[in-house]
Amino acid sequence: MDELKFDQNGLIPAIVTDAADGKVLTLAYMNRQSLAISMAEGRTCFWSRSRRCLWRKGETSGNVQHVRTITVDCDRDALVVAVDKDGPACHTGAESCFFEPVYISEAGEPFTVKGLYKLLEGRKETLPEGSYTTYLFQKGLDKILKKVGEESTEVIVAAKGGDKAETIYEIADLMYHVMVLMVEMGISVEDVYKELASRHIIDHKVKQEKMTP
């Protein structure tokens, strides 16, 4: 901490990101005490410039941010804090404090898995006519499961044939249908991230192989 460069007010900017996908959640400020508290407690604690006091994120809202990593930039005057969040980062209820676009290029906003998930959620809620996603939700779970099975088979066939481009295409189809299934069953992207993070598949498999006579 002694190597960090705090400003004339004893503060350092902290960019808080979602550990799951790297999305920027908020920009806050820390002093030495709040940074020490964040590291000791494993949850974000900031210095409120308006109230001039320490505040732990989520102490009133319940939207606690659990610290995964804290990284300093090359100039040692700014931090990136990767967190697992229990709820929205913004006091407005938005997932991120950065939600009002100032400029969007012709290419549009970058694709994200969470963005696709939200789009599918919207399709299920509004069921717009002529949408293939609407068709799947109207047909229900059995139809969605059938499509997941069909797309899984197509991935296998494409990969077995050694066609990389076709395999990518079929994997994308499979991922889309799996996400429709997730929305149908109320399984969030975060649920899957947490399950993956809890596993040690490679180490476990290596141990099994070593134990095999």
Sequence ranges of the domains in the chain: 12-85, 113-207
Domain 12-85 has CATH 3.10.20.810: yes
Q: Nearest-CA neighbor of 117 among 190, 206, 202, 34? A: 190
Give tens-digit pLDDT for 135-190.
999 999 999 999 999 999 999 999 999 999 999 999 999 999 999 999 999 999 98
Tokens for 106, please give them: 């012709």
Cα gap 190→94, rounded to integer Å: 16
Domain 113-207 has CATH 3.40.30.10: no
Give tens-digit pLDDT for 33-82.
999 999 999 999 999 999 999 999 999 899 999 999 999 999 999 999 99
Q: Letter for the amino acid at 11? A: L
Q: Nearest-CA neighbor of 87 among 115, 58, 120? A: 58
pLDDT (0 to 100) of residue 204: 56
pTM, to two decimals: 0.70
Cα gap 14→23, rounded to integer Å: 14
**Mean model confidence pLDDT for the chain:** 92
Q: What are phi and psi of 40, to 5 degrees?
A: -75, -40
* 113-207 has the same fold as 12-85: no
